[in-house]
């Protein structure tokens, strides 16, 4: 008998993991240096977007950048 408590993963966490997998797959064809540059640019854009939305309606979700 397994006495370990069941752990559940939230839908939001599953979505984050799925997004990360898609993001990683979308840059695999690039050389490592370009991958890093691309990721840094996307992180900067996302950070700016989060900061712009900071203090706005807490129930409104910020858009997640699309993975192409």
* pTM assigned to the model: 0.55
Given this model, what pLDDT does residue 53 score? 80
For the chain, the C-alpha Rg in angstroms (whole number) is 17
Contact of 22 with 33, CB cutoff 8 Å: no
pLDDT reported for residue 62: 58
Q: pLDDT tens digits, the chain, 68 residues: what are they?
A: 566 667 888 999 999 999 889 988 999 999 999 999 998 998 999 889 888 887 666 666 656 666 65
Q: Which residue bears the tokens 């979505």?
A: 15
**pLDDT the model gives residue 7:** 80
Alpha helices by DSSP H, listed for the chain, are 11-26, 32-53
């Amino acid at each position: 008998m397994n006495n370990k408590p069941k752990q559940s993963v939230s839908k939001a966490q599953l979505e984050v993991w799925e997004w990360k997998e898609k993001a990683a797959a979308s840059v695999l064809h690039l050389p490592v240096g370009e991958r890093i540059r691309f990721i840094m640019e996307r992180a900067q854009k996302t950070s700016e977007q989060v900061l712009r939305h900071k203090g706005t309606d807490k129930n409104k979700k910020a858009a997640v950048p699309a993975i192409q």
